[in-house]
């Protein structure tokens, strides 16, 4: 028992030291001067950033620097990744971290994220889909983005670029896939990201289940509203789509799903309708 207890304490000490060092590194990256070339990229490629209050712009720039120092973005399908691509991806992904806190400490990274894989356009994946009689059949799907629980996000540059250029259409592949990353902090994506306590989790579950059922009812009546049919495909997709709409069409979300808007406001610590 003493050996086991010692090992547990040793592992806990290593984890605390590792976490502390990681936060120290990110603090240094965030405090560094933001490159002028990156500022020009933000103005050209991510117009939403210019709408943010100045304190949020400054925090976002720090988060972008930490993100790009820590997370490799790897070109696939013959794509050479440029700073323009890297900054455009990081700026949109870090919007999800901008107002979040955990235990009173600002959240500065995606804990499970290991790398971003970037294709020039839509990419094809193969999945084994169950058929009648329990038979599995390989199916090919063309995607603009995907998030893996193991810590990879796969994106299409075409979709990244177009999503950033239109910040009010309610569709943004980076916000969508990185919302899945937040969801996957607790395991497989299920629409229930990590919460600070059981009371918050119960409130989240009650609001989301009600809104999810309401969306399905709207779809049956031919009135999809701001969320649309893809959000009704699963709880995980509901959370990801709701995140896109929260950042890009917050007034519509508040009007159609006020309770959902409120829990997302509390979770992300932001009020995008004021931007």
pLDDT for 21-66, tens place per residue? Answer: 888 999 999 999 999 999 999 999 999 999 999 999 999 999 999 9
Residues paired with residue 117 on neighbouring β-strands, in sequence order: 74, 154
Smallest Cα–Cα separation from 263: which of 209, 189, 223, 226? 209
Q: Are 264 and 191 in contact (CB under 8 A)?
A: no
What pLDDT is attached to residue 239? Answer: 98
What pLDDT is attached to residue 95? Answer: 98
What pLDDT is attached to residue 129? Answer: 53
What pLDDT is attached to residue 133? Answer: 58
The highest-level CATH class for domain 190-275 is: alpha beta
DSSP-derived secondary structure for 198-223: HHHHHHHHHHHHHHHHHHHHHHHTT-
What pLDDT is attached to residue 194? Answer: 92
Alpha helix stretches (DSSP H) within the chain: 2-31, 36-45, 48-51, 54-70, 83-94, 157-165, 173-183, 198-220, 235-248, 250-256, 258-268
What pLDDT is attached to residue 175? Answer: 98
Low-confidence ranges of the chain (pLDDT < 50): 11, 13-16, 18
What pLDDT is attached to residue 14? Answer: 38
How many Å apart are CA 138 and CA 117, to the nearest integer? Answer: 23
Phi, psi of 75 (to 5 degrees): -75, 140
Listed by start position, the domains of the chain span: 190-275
Q: Which helix (H) or strand (E) holds 124?
A: strand 123-130
């Amino acid at each position: 028992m003493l050996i086991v207890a010692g090992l547990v304490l040793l592992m806990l000490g290593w984890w605390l030291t590792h976490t502390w060092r990681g936060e120290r590194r990110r603090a240094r990256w965030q405090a560094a001067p933001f490159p002028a070339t990156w500022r020009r990229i933000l103005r050209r490629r991510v117009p939403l950033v210019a709408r943010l209050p100045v304190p949020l712009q400054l925090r976002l720039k720090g988060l972008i620097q930490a993100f790009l120092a820590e997370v490799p973005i790897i070109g696939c399908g013959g794509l050479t990744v440029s700073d323009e691509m890297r900054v455009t991806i990081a700026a949109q992904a870090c919007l999800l971290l901008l107002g979040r806190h955990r235990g009173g400490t600002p959240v500065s990274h995606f804990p499970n994220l290991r790398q971003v894989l970037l294709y020039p356009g839509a990419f094809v994946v193969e999945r084994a889909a169950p058929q009648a009689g329990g038979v599995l059949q390989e199916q090919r799907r063309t995607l603009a983005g995907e998030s893996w629980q193991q810590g990879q996000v796969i994106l299409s540059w075409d979709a990244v670029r177009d999503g950033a250029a239109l910040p009010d259409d309610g569709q943004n592949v980076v916000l969508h896939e990185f919302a899945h990353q937040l969801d996957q902090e607790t395991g497989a994506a299920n629409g229930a990201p990590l919460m600070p306590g059981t009371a918050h989790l119960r409130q989240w579950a009650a609001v989301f289940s009600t809104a999810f059922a309401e969306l399905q009812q709207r779809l049956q009546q031919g009135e999809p509203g701001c969320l649309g049919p893809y959000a009704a495909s699963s709880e995980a997709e509901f959370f990801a789509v709701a995140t896109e709409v929260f950042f890009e069409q917050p007034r519509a979300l508040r009007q159609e799903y006020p309770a959902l808007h409120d829990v997302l406001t509390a979770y992300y610590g932001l009020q995008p309708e004021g931007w």
